[in-house]
Amino acid sequence: MKNHRLIPITLIAAAVLAGCSSLPASNSLLDQARSDYNTAQANPQVATLAAGELKQASESLDKANNALSKGEKSDTVDHLAYVAKQQTAIAQETAKQKAAELAVANANAERDKVRLAARTQEADVAQRSAEVSQREAEKSQRQAVAERQVANAALVDAQSARQQTQDAEARSRDLEAQLKDLQAKKTDRGMLITLGDVLFDTNHAQLKSGGLRNLQKLGDFLKRYPQRTVMIEGFTDSTGGNIRNMELSDQRAASVRTAMLDMGIASERITSRGYGESYPVADNKTSAGRQLNRRVEIIISDDGGKIAPR
Amino acid sequence: MNNISSYPWYRVAGAIGCAAVFITGCATNLPPPTEQLAVTKSALDNAVSAGGNEFAAVEMRAAQEKLERANQAVAKEDYLTARRLAEEAQADARLAEKKADSAKAQKAAVAMQDDIRVLREEINRKTK
């Protein structure tokens, strides 16, 4: 009867052992899954960026561990370990994906910053070049103004020079006209005006009123050209005594000089001298020649006031 | 034959215990894993559209092959094997999808860095 009691207990033990196989000490796939999981867990990126996925892997790994410790069949443990291993890999990939997405987001921000910096720089460059252009424009404008001023000044100079030339020409023409009016002749010593014997009565040194009128023109000329001086020279014909002729010619020249002084010409500008019957200009044998020799000659100096001596 | 009540109580208990061990320990009458198969199929579709074939060919092949074997096991009414294969195929498919996503994101990050580098070079060239 004792033996009968043991039969069911023996059957139960046999069923457990045969039906669910023997207890394996370890499982290589589970070892692999544990190792993978530990690696993932140690990675802070996975722990923070794929926390949910890592938790799932952890739960699967627990199941596999439990199965192993309960002594379940190796294909059960293998299956659970495989799922745990794949879920660990999923956690790893998720973390990589999220990290890359973060990098893209950061890079977007960085790119925006770089673009902004580029635009700022472009704007700065454009402004600087605009300023440079402006300065150059101002500079060239100033140069243009200066050049125009120089050109104007040159024009004014040219006009003034032309004016001076014209003035000088006008003065020269005027002088020529005056000298022509005085019937002056050009000689080596200067312009020569010859006054005939009509100025004086015979043997007298007193100017006649008609002669005085003639001298008025000379006075006007000297007033107009104050830098010029005159030399008044008196001459007679050969009639009469030599000494008397010298005296007469000297007195006549002095008379002319006095008349000029009376007109307001400064005394230092006028010199006078008599030469008597010397330096005849015509033959004293004829009356016409003698008339020509009775004369007063007035030499007008150049602009320097100099007169070459006879 | 005697009525069952004529057997001693421990004999009856022993027989019931034996049956219980067989039923719970080695579970043979599971329902077909219809829901799991649908979830796995969906995960596989997602992996395909994420570009799993391009970026995670090994995982994709494993997932497809396991799903096929799961369907074959269902036909043989081996539901335990079918469920396990379907679960593993789901994990493979999800890994393939994540690998594809991760690869694409990393490509994008590299491309972005390149963009920035080019932009910087251009700026440096302009300033010179």
% of residues, chain B, pLDDT over 90: 64
pLDDT at A96: 95
Average pLDDT of chain A?
A: 87
pLDDT 10s digits, A240-287: 888 999 999 999 899 899 988 998 999 899 999 999 998 998 888 998
Cα(A8)–Cα(B17) distance, integer angstroms? 8
B123–A118 C-beta distance less than 8 A = yes
Name B60's bridge partners. none
Of the three residues A172, A200, A229, the one that is the final residue of a domain is: A172
Q: Which of A99-113, A142-156, A213-227 has the lowest mean pLDDT?
A: A213-227
**Between B112 and B29, residue with greater pLDDT:** B112
| Token pair for A296 | 């007063």
**pLDDT band at B25, cuts 50/70/90?**
very low
pLDDT at A21: 47
Same domain, A113 and A194: no
B120–A15 C-beta distance less than 8 A = no
Average pLDDT (A28-35) is 95
Average pLDDT (B68-72) is 97
Residue carrying the six token digits 């002095």? A254
Same domain, A28 and A84: yes
Chain B residues in contact with A118 by the CB 8 A cut-off are: 119, 122-123, 126
pLDDT at A149: 95
Average pLDDT (A158-174) is 88
pLDDT at A143: 95
pLDDT 10s digits, A177-204: 877 777 788 888 888 888 877 778 888 8
Chain B: residue whose CA lies nearest to A79: B84
Q: Which of A126-130, A163-167, B4-8, B34-38 has the lowest mean pLDDT?
A: B4-8
Sequence-ordered alpha helix ranges (H) in A43-183: 44-49, 51-69, 74-181
What is the DSSP code (8-state) at residue A269? G
Query: Considering the domain boundaries, does residue B33 fall inside one?
Result: yes
Largest CA distance in chain A: 221
Same domain, A84 and A192: no
Q: Which amino acid is at B99?
A: K
Query: Considering the domain boundaries, does residue A18 fall inside one?
Result: no
Across the interface, which of A89, A96, A118 has its CB nearest the CB of B119? A118
Residue carrying the six token digits 């300033």? B127
Same domain, A145 and A215: no
Same domain, A35 and A168: yes
Query: Considering the domain boundaries, does residue A17 fall inside one?
Result: no
CA distance A100 to chain B (A): 5
Q: Which of A32-36, A52-56, A205-209 has the lowest mean pLDDT?
A: A205-209
Chain B residues in contact with A97 by the CB 8 A cut-off are: 98, 101-102, 105-106
Domains in chain A: how many in total? 2
pLDDT at A180: 79
Helix (H) or strand (E) run with residue A8 in it: helix A2-19
Residue A68 has pLDDT above 60, yes or no: yes
Same domain, A151 and A30: yes
Chain A residues in contact with B126 by the CB 8 A cut-off are: 118, 121-122, 125
ipTM of the complex model: 0.74
Q: For an interface test with A, which of B12, B78, B95, B120 has the most A Cβ atoms less than 10 Å from its Cβ?
A: B95
B92–A86 C-beta distance less than 8 A = yes
Query: Which residues of A lie inside 8 Å of B (Cβ-Cβ)?
Result: 4-5, 7-9, 11-12, 15-16, 19-20, 75, 79, 82-83, 86-87, 89-90, 93-94, 96-98, 100-101, 103-104, 107-108, 110-111, 114-115, 117-118, 121-122, 125
B121: domain CATH number is 1.20.1270.390
Residues in chain A: 310
B22–A96 C-beta distance less than 8 A = no
Average pLDDT (A118-134) is 90
Q: Which amino acid is at B47?
A: A
Average pLDDT (A115-140) is 91
Query: Considering the domain boundaries, does residue A265 fall inside one?
Result: yes
Helix (H) or strand (E) run with residue B12 in it: helix B9-25
Q: In terms of residue numbers, what domain contains B41?
A: 29-127
Average pLDDT (A200-212) is 79
Q: Which amino acid is at A89?
A: A
pLDDT at A306: 80
Of the three residues A140, A172, A204, the one that is the final residue of a domain is: A172
Query: Considering the domain boundaries, does residue A307 fall inside one?
Result: no
Cα(A107)–Cα(A115) distance, integer angstroms? 12
Query: Considering the domain boundaries, does residue A34 fall inside one?
Result: yes
- Residue A82 and residue A95 in contact, taking contact as beta carbons nearer than 8 Å: no
A281: domain CATH number is 3.30.1330.60
Report chain B's terminal Cα–Cα distance, integer Å.
Answer: 111
Across the interface, which of B14, B84, B115 has its CB nearest the CB of A79? B84
B106–A96 C-beta distance less than 8 A = yes
| Token pair for A150 | 């120089």
Query: Considering the domain boundaries, does residue B2 fall inside one?
Result: no
Q: For an interface test with B, which of A4, A46, A82, A104 has the most B Cβ atoms less than 10 Å from its Cβ?
A: A104
Residue A150 has pLDDT above 90, yes or no: yes
Q: In terms of residue numbers, what domain contains A58?
A: 24-172
